[in-house]
Amino acid sequence: MTNAEQDFRYLKLLARQYPNIQAASTEIINLNAILNLPKATEHFLSDVHGEYEAFLHVLKNGSGSIKRKIEETFADTLLAKEKRALATLIYYPERKLPMLLRDVEDQREWFRITLFRLIKICRVVSSKYTRSKVRKALPDDFAYVIEELLHEQESIINRQEYYKSIVDTIIDTGRAAPFIIALSYLIQRLNIDHLHLIGDVYDRGPGAHIIMDTLMDYHSLDFQWGNHDILWMGAAAGSDACIANVIRVGLRYSNMTTIEDGYAISLLPLATFAMETYGDDACLQFMPKLSGEREFDNNEVKLMAKMHKAIAIIQFKIEAEIIHRRAEYEMNDRLLLDKIDFKNGTIQIGDTTYPLNDTYFPTINPKNPFALTDAEHSVVKKLRLSFMHSERLQRHVRFLYSKGSMYLVYNGNLLYHGCILMTDDGKIKNFTVNGQQLGPRAMLDRVERLVRQAYFAPEGSPQKLEGLDMMWYLWCGANSPLFGKDKMATFERYFIDDKSTHKEITNAYYTYRDRANVATEILKAFGLPNGKGHIINGHVPVKVKKGESPVKAGGKLVVIDGGFSKAYQTQTGIAGYTLVFNSYGLLLASHHPFESTEKAISEELDIHSETQILEKNYTRIRVKDTDLGKELQQDVSDLQALLQAFREGYIKEG
């Protein structure tokens, strides 16, 4: 079939949707109008690490953008405390509304004033969308009324009574409170058009499962997998090595909430095994880091330490299986159990012998140190079944597969969590796989295929095993673009006091990413013409308190891991970055620590944020300048071809 014949067949199919000149012309007019609307707002977050209260608040306030809109709309007409109350009402309408009404004498008047204010803010946030898009976002119960109010011009004299009567009727029928709640959520929904989450929802904080539930209900988003996400995805897919690491990290940071409460995964088999095996061992090197999120009594802390040691030893044995199976991973330096001198309590690493700070290894056979005992085998099997049969975890992981990727090119920006691997002399690293040389983009595409294979390939197949092994390698391998270090010194940190053995050397990317020419080369490698656009990066917290800037490479690269997780805030000095990309340019918001949802509601304590303009466009970015705009322009071109075919008689009007 010739190209001309294919084009004609396509136009005949298109004519089923637009059967005549009028229909095709109307759609062309509609699309051209959309192309000239302002670009919708994108919101970028990274490394939220289970800090669900701060995360949910930032989603609600749009990194301070709702507060800015209130300030712009009511700059000289509302007091500061009234603006704070209005903002808090928009963020938490169900909980704030009863508090505000307690102090109101004339509820009818308060409802009327509040409704007018919310409608004004709603008009501002909806102004860059078509009526059709706004209509789709409207709550079913109030769709018609809200649409009337949003597009009604109450300043026109002959429409004032109509507008006022709608508001009065809402109050008279006792629907003011639910209407206010509906408007508040609509403002949140329209304030941010699309969310980019650049990795690491999991670990550290207690509420990764709550964050995932929220993301599943979010109207529009994409996800670039982080190393912690990949670890949980691998665990859900059935990787024993990933499961052991997930549990070990949870025990290390006394954060079992997501595992036990969020995903109903039973750790009883591990606890029973740990008590039987390490009951007389103090396990001092395995005492958990207490986060303060939960209080534990002394017996609970001791049990966690025993479980921690038990799963760590199991982990080292399971990982050895993968290292032996995958010579291409070049990870023999991570085989350490066979380097232990059990008689003298030392270990040989390279040419150096180090004393061990813990020599109690009841489950390690010196003649076959990597073999699991029967009891360990039983624990691993039960844990794997728990992870694979956790309905909520499987639902969340399937969502990560459907919305996620290793990287994303979106509206001229390149998004990825970790790094683009580089050589020590500052060159982008290429890889040879099966005799074929792969650049960074092709390599990430291959890795992503293996990640999907781990979950979706048939059980027991070589393809699934290869994928599962890759999931673990992405967590800790020297050439993992999500890890970005030469090794994960887990064994050394537990068993060797000499801190020189704990050092993990970061990939050269983290030295060279400050250079504009390097960022340009990376952007070109991912198909961005002339290296234009920005790299949006996470993974390594920006140490603001030491003078480090999140803006690198002359503004071409922005790191938005600023310490959402409380565990990192002592390093960063702040509590996270978020990035906003709207029709005027790029805004970087740095956030102070979030105290609690309770205080945000009762004391109206919003997250204090400083906003920095990274890039300002003096000509507003329009839809036609975006990826969506390119698709719509192609649609217009196709419709114009259909219009011509109608007019020249090649296709009959329906």
- Domain for residue 215, yes or no? yes
Convert 16-47 into a string of H (helix), E (strand) and C (coil): HHCCCHHHHHHHHHHHHHHHCCECCCEEEECC
Torsion of CA 114, 115, 117, 123, to 10 degrees: 160
| pLDDT tens per residue, range 135-192 | 888 888 888 888 877 776 655 556 677 778 888 888 888 888 999 999 999 999 999 9
The reported pLDDT for the residue numbered 4 is 77
The reported pLDDT for the residue numbered 570 is 67
User: Burial level of 489, CB count in 10 A (0-12/13-18/19+)?
Assistant: middle
- Highest mean pLDDT among 97-106, 342-351, 540-549 belongs to 342-351
The reported pLDDT for the residue numbered 549 is 84
The reported pLDDT for the residue numbered 639 is 93
Mean confidence (pLDDT) of the chain: 90
pLDDT band at 486 (very low <50, low <70, confident <90, very high): very high
| Residues 601 and 641 occupy one common structural domain | no
| Residues 565 and 548 occupy one common structural domain | yes
| Residues 143 and 211 occupy one common structural domain | no
Taking residues 568-589, what's their average pLDDT? 77
| Residues 485 and 530 occupy one common structural domain | no
The reported pLDDT for the residue numbered 216 is 96
**CB atoms inside a 10 Å sphere around CB 256:** 20
**Number of domains making up the chain:** 4
| Residues 374 and 346 occupy one common structural domain | yes
- Domain for residue 407, yes or no? no
pLDDT band at 544 (very low <50, low <70, confident <90, very high): confident
Taking residues 607-620, what's their average pLDDT? 73
| pLDDT tens per residue, range 388-411 | 999 999 999 999 999 999 999 999
Write out the residue range of the structural domain in which residue 630 sits: 3-37+626-647
pLDDT band at 202 (very low <50, low <70, confident <90, very high): very high
- Domain for residue 57, yes or no? no
The reported pLDDT for the residue numbered 1 is 60
Taking residues 496-523, what's their average pLDDT? 94
Taking residues 337-353, what's their average pLDDT? 94
| Residues 496 and 517 occupy one common structural domain | no
- Domain for residue 654, yes or no? no
Alpha helices in 326-483 (DSSP H): 374-388, 391-403, 440-456, 462-476
Torsion of CA 438, 441, 442, 446, to 10 degrees: 120
* C-alpha dist (Å) from residue 376 to 240, 357, 373, 541: 12, 23, 5, 36
pLDDT band at 457 (very low <50, low <70, confident <90, very high): very high
Query: Is residue 68 over pLDDT 70?
Result: yes
Query: Is residue 444 over pLDDT 60?
Result: yes
Helix H or strand E encompassing 52: helix 52-61
- Domain for residue 401, yes or no? no
- Domain for residue 301, yes or no? yes
Q: Which of 67-71, 157-161, 304-308, 642-646 has the lowest mean pLDDT?
A: 157-161
The reported pLDDT for the residue numbered 316 is 97
Would the pTM of this model clear 0.75, i.e. be above it?
Answer: yes
Alpha helices in 173-267 (DSSP H): 176-191, 208-216, 227-237, 240-252
- Tell me the three state secondary structure of residue 471: helix
The reported pLDDT for the residue numbered 573 is 63
| Residues 377 and 277 occupy one common structural domain | yes
- Domain for residue 410, yes or no? no
- Domain for residue 111, yes or no? yes
| pLDDT tens per residue, range 556-572 | 999 987 667 676 666 66
Taking residues 239-253, what's their average pLDDT? 96
